[in-house]
A and B are shown apart, each in its own frame.
Chain A
Amino acid sequence: MIELNDVSYAYPDTDHFVLSHMNLSIPAGSVTGIVGASSSGKTTLAKIISGFIPHVDGGELTGTVVVDGVTIADATLADAVSHVGLVIQSPFNQISGAKFTVREELAFGLENLGTPREEMAERVNEMAELLSIGDLLDRSPYALSGGQQQLVAIASIIIMRTPVLVMDEPTSQLDPGGTRMVFDVMSKLRDTGVTIVIFEHKLELLREHTDRVHVLADHQLLIAEGPSRTMLTDSRLEEWGVGTTRFTAAAKTARDRGLLASDTELPVSLTDAVSTFASYRNTKGA
């Protein structure tokens, strides 16, 4: 579904390759998490998969990028965005600035495609329900809090119903409740066949909602991939600046102090940890 073959990229007017000789293969209908330290190239990779590189940012892109059967370099941006939607990192920059209400903002992309008015209204309402933003529809996109703007930005991309969805830290401004909602929406979309790539720092949620995880490290290379639990407890994550969850850290410390067996598999999420620490469950007061 998404194939990157020997991809290297440098931004315009620089000779520093942010990504170099990268290969990546993502199957259709999966949710793939990509983690990496700040400045490891996550946003660059998100833009490459969605065609904004090279079509908007320019720069020197080599190798091939094929998404949903489309060779990105040969396609126009309009063609690329009909296959892949990109939720950018800063919701403040995703809002179009051309519309007065959230309702119009959500319909903006569909309007440009000439979608019939009735269908547009229907899809706007569907998004309002999916992301619990019904009460924001008649407000100005600029009179919203950072988190509310982020939900609107996400809705404005999902509404386009592209087969591939790329999300660059889509929950950075959200409260924990809103964050879980976005991850749940992602799982729902996957169940309808959408292929999703999510760039995130929230490892607990990646473990719960992704099929596999890749790590970007050393500012350049995609050096590992695997099932989320294996990847998210890899001892090299600290060194790569990604960190671990507190569940992983607590289990590691407990293992080192002989409080857990030395061959205990490390947990990433709450569910994992409840089973890791099952012998410490309080059965008296429960």
Chain B
Amino acid sequence: MDVSFTGVSYTYPSGVEAVKSIDLSIPAGQRFAIVGQNGAGKTTLVRHLNGIFQPTIGTVAVGDWETKGHSIAELSARVGYVFQNPDEQLFARKVIDDVAFGPKNLGFAPDRAAALVAAALEQTGLTAEAETHPHHLSLSERKRVALAAVLAMDTPIVVLDEPTTGQDERGVRMIATIVANLVAQGRTVIAITHDMDFCAENFDRVVAMARGAILADGTPSEVFAQDEVLRQARVEAPQLGRLAEALHWPERPLTVEGFVAQLEMYRA
């Protein structure tokens, strides 16, 4: 399912203009990442997708729906949104109840709902914690519960707001696998992240934002080669891109494989 923003601006009641004239179209099945400085408007922008915010100016479309004509409840059947802070999302006394809430509310048949819940717990490594109170889990585990709750809703679009925060290496790899699986099923993944290595290794397209506007839009290689954009968006290139730059290479490989391949070329 496609998503589009047309001329979208959003001004908070306080008068802060968080998002300014955004035009953006994200085709179905894309792995789409947003990077940029704190307070750049990243979260404000994606919260338009499930109708938490309605644009002050412009329109947001999710598939053939304009978000203005649909409630948050209706949009939640199309857009699964994993909050940055899991405590804004979780409320049940058992992990399994939090994860089962979405599919139940969407009116899925009990068999389908149960299968989705089981699969979501498994993918997030939480099967053994199904009966645990979310309050007894660590922040990184609660973040995975919040992710499982959205996966179980089986939406064509999944929005992840800083999914790797507080995750260790294993957790980051688990999330990368989930992103790959979602896209393999034809779903769209939109993620906000400050982890540039995670971004470069797992996404097809990156948008860099600063002060409510888009500064660059392209593949990770294209965006992470624009030093001035990175400076303005207060982000940095992935680790090996920075190393290639420091070694004065004209190429900017972003992954371990790409970097080592380049070493082999230099060696030859």
Residues of A in contact with B (beta carbons under 8 Å apart): 11, 36-39, 43, 89-90, 92-93, 139-140, 143-148, 150-151, 169, 172-179, 201, 204, 238, 241-243, 245-247, 249-250, 253-254, 257, 259, 270, 273-274, 277, 280-283, 285-286
Residues in chain A near residue B37, CB distance under 8 A:
147, 175, 177-178
The winner among B37, B43, B88 for most chain A CB atoms within 10 A is B37
Q: Across the interface, do A259 and B84 meet the contact criterion of CB distance under 8 Å?
A: no
| Distance of A260 from chain B, by nearest CB (Å) | 8
Could you tell me the distance between the alpha carbons of A261 and B141 in the complex, rounded to whole angstroms? 41
Please list 27 pairs of residues, one from A and one from B, whose beta carbons are closer than 8 Å in the complex, sorted by A's number: A11-B136, A37-B168, A37-B169, A38-B166, A38-B167, A89-B166, A143-B16, A146-B84, A146-B85, A146-B162, A148-B39, A173-B84, A173-B194, A176-B196, A241-B168, A242-B168, A246-B240, A250-B260, A254-B260, A259-B263, A259-B267, A270-B239, A270-B242, A273-B246, A274-B243, A281-B247, A285-B248
Could you tell me the distance between the alpha carbons of A148 and B234 in the complex, rounded to whole angstroms? 14
User: Are A169 and B234 also in contact (CB < 8 A) when A90-B87, A148-B39 are?
Assistant: no
Residues of B in contact with A (beta carbons under 8 Å apart): 12, 14, 16, 35-40, 43, 84-85, 87-88, 136, 138-141, 162, 165-172, 194, 196-197, 233-236, 238-240, 242-243, 246-250, 255-256, 259-260, 263-264, 266-267
Q: Across the interface, do A274 and B12 meet the contact criterion of CB distance under 8 Å?
A: no
| Distance of B163 from chain A, by nearest CB (Å) | 12
Could you tell me the distance between the alpha carbons of A249 and B165 in the complex, rounded to whole angstroms? 21
Which of A89, A92, A201, A280 meets B263, CB within 8 Å?
A280
Residue of A nearest to B170 (CB): A241
Q: Across the interface, do B246 and A270 meet the contact criterion of CB distance under 8 Å?
A: yes
Q: Across the interface, do A173 and B38 meet the contact criterion of CB distance under 8 Å?
A: yes
Residues in chain B near residue A90, CB distance under 8 A:
85, 87, 139
| Distance of A180 from chain B, by nearest CB (Å) | 8
Residue of B nearest to A171 (CB): B194
Residues in chain A near residue B242, CB distance under 8 A:
270
Residues in chain B near residue A92, CB distance under 8 A:
85, 87-88
Could you tell me the distance between the alpha carbons of A90 and B88 in the complex, rounded to whole angstroms? 12
Residues in chain B near residue A174, CB distance under 8 A:
38, 194
Q: Across the interface, do B256 and A249 meet the contact criterion of CB distance under 8 Å?
A: yes
Q: Across the interface, do A201 and B166 meet the contact criterion of CB distance under 8 Å?
A: yes
Residue of B nearest to A246 (CB): B239
Could you tell me the distance between the alpha carbons of A169 and B260 in the complex, rounded to whole angstroms? 31
Q: Across the interface, do B196 and A277 meet the contact criterion of CB distance under 8 Å?
A: no
Could you tell me the distance between the alpha carbons of A281 and B238 in the complex, rounded to whole angstroms? 18
Could you tell me the distance between the alpha carbons of A256 and B198 in the complex, rounded to whole angstroms? 24
Q: Across the interface, do B87 and A277 meet the contact criterion of CB distance under 8 Å?
A: no
Residue of A nearest to B42 (CB): A145
Residue of B nearest to A257 (CB): B260
Residues in chain A near residue B136, CB distance under 8 A:
11
Q: Across the interface, do A243 and B248 meet the contact criterion of CB distance under 8 Å?
A: no
Could you tell me the distance between the alpha carbons of A258 and B12 in the complex, rounded to whole angstroms? 57
| Distance of B85 from chain A, by nearest CB (Å) | 5
Residues in chain B near residue A140, CB distance under 8 A:
14
Could you tell me the distance between the alpha carbons of A43 and B136 in the complex, rounded to whole angstroms? 13
Could you tell me the distance between the alpha carbons of A173 and B161 in the complex, rounded to whole angstroms? 10
| Distance of A155 from chain B, by nearest CB (Å) | 14
Could you tell me the distance between the alpha carbons of A36 and B166 in the complex, rounded to whole angstroms? 11
| Distance of A89 from chain B, by nearest CB (Å) | 5
Q: Across the interface, do B264 and A176 meet the contact criterion of CB distance under 8 Å?
A: no
Could you tell me the distance between the alpha carbons of A250 and B263 in the complex, rounded to whole angstroms? 10
Could you tell me the distance between the alpha carbons of A282 and B172 in the complex, rounded to whole angstroms? 33
Q: Across the interface, do A250 and B240 meet the contact criterion of CB distance under 8 Å?
A: yes
Residue of A nearest to B250 (CB): A285
Q: Across the interface, do A177 and B168 meet the contact criterion of CB distance under 8 Å?
A: no
Q: Across the interface, do A175 and B168 meet the contact criterion of CB distance under 8 Å?
A: no
User: Are A147 and B38 also in contact (CB < 8 A) when A37-B170, A238-B169, A242-B169 are?
Assistant: yes
Could you tell me the distance between the alpha carbons of A238 and B169 in the complex, rounded to whole angstroms? 8
Q: Across the interface, do B248 and A281 meet the contact criterion of CB distance under 8 Å?
A: yes
Residues in chain A near residue B197, CB distance under 8 A:
246
Q: Across the interface, do B87 and A250 meet the contact criterion of CB distance under 8 Å?
A: no
Residues in chain A near residue B247, CB distance under 8 A:
274, 277, 280-282
| Distance of A42 from chain B, by nearest CB (Å) | 9
Q: Across the interface, do A204 and B166 meet the contact criterion of CB distance under 8 Å?
A: no
Residues in chain A near residue B87, CB distance under 8 A:
90, 92-93
Q: Across the interface, do B38 and A274 meet the contact criterion of CB distance under 8 Å?
A: no
The winner among A92, A246, A249 for most chain B CB atoms within 10 A is A246
Could you tell me the distance between the alpha carbons of A93 and B79 in the complex, rounded to whole angstroms? 27
| Distance of A235 from chain B, by nearest CB (Å) | 14
Could you tell me the distance between the alpha carbons of A172 and B166 in the complex, rounded to whole angstroms? 6
Could you tell me the distance between the alpha carbons of A101 and B214 in the complex, rounded to whole angstroms? 29
Could you tell me the distance between the alpha carbons of A235 and B238 in the complex, rounded to whole angstroms? 22
Q: Across the interface, do B263 and A243 meet the contact criterion of CB distance under 8 Å?
A: no
Residue of B nearest to A146 (CB): B84
Residues in chain B near residue A249, CB distance under 8 A:
256
Residues in chain B near residue A43, CB distance under 8 A:
138-139
Residues in chain A near residue B246, CB distance under 8 A:
270, 273-274
Q: Across the interface, do B194 and A179 meet the contact criterion of CB distance under 8 Å?
A: yes
